[in-house]
């Protein structure tokens, strides 16, 4: 959520904020044209967020890009958030911009992490790498993506690092072996022989009492 707030702050710093009355009339006009595509509308600090179902994502993006009254021809960024609650724990965000009307629009949807989201590479060619990043970090697949593979992690990496259930320590440790002159993977080994997981008072700790 802090990431989205920072995006809204940057948008306002760029001077893209529109007067509330004009924004409200614009959003009402937009919703009246495509009512079945939009689930929820939120306007905050001059930035509009539209929530859409996965099945209507491409239809909505096509309308926003092609319609003469919208012309959102630029996909600024894509990201995702793992809420870790409910069946559809993941929330995807699309940041669109129109140069003609000098406005930014945020499209978001919910996903369960198992069903594939329609790829928008046919509309925005720059979405190819962005969708690969989301797949690499969150494990959210995109249908009809021409080259959906990892882009940030190494080959053979296990798991998806930005999921809330991914362990902070990971599964393997990486080191450079000077003998073989290459990077090798070892099983994760955490040395904890000096840790005492005793939840008693430190003055009643059994190991401490042995010393006095």
- pLDDT per residue as tens digits for the range 79-93: 999 998 889 999 999
Domains of the chain with CATH codes: 2-143 (3.30.460.80)
Question: How far is it, in rounded angstroms, from Cα 161 to Cα 139?
Answer: 9
Q: What is the pLDDT of residues 9-37, one digit of tens each?
A: 333 433 444 556 677 887 888 888 888 89
Is pLDDT larger for residue 166 or for residue 22?
166
The answer to whether 48 and 106 have CB atoms below 8 angstroms apart is yes
The answer to whether 65 and 71 have CB atoms below 8 angstroms apart is yes
User: 162 Cβ partners below 8 Å, 6+ apart?
Assistant: 80, 82, 137, 138
> Which of 90-94, 155-159, 203-207 holds the top average pLDDT?
90-94
E strand segments, 73-112: 74-82, 90-98, 103-111
């Amino acid at each position: 959520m802090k990431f989205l707030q920072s995006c809204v702050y940057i948008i306002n710093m760029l001077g893209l904020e529109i007067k509330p009355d004009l924004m409200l009339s614009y959003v009402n006009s937009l919703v009246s044209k495509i009512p079945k595509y939009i689930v929820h509308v939120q306007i905050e600090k001059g930035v509009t967020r539209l929530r859409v179902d996965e099945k209507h994502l491409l239809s909505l993006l096509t309308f926003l890009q092609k319609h003469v009254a919208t012309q959102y021809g630029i996909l600024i960024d894509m990201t995702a958030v793992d809420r870790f609650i409910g069946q559809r724990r993941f929330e995807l965000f699309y940041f669109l911009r129109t140069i003609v009307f000098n406005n930014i629009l945020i499209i978001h949807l919910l996903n369960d992490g198992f069903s594939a989201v329609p790829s928008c590479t046919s509309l925005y060619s720059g979405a190819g790498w962005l969708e690969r990043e989301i797949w690499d970090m969150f494990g959210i697949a995109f249908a009809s993506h021409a080259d959906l593979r990892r882009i940030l992690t190494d080959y053979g990496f296990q798991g998806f690092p930005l999921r809330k259930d991914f362990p902070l320590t990971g599964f393997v440790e990486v080191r450079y072996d000077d003998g073989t002159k290459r990077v090798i993977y070892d099983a994760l080994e955490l040395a904890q022989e000096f840790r005492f997981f005793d939840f008693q008072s430190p003055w009643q700790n059994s190991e401490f009492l042995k010393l006095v």
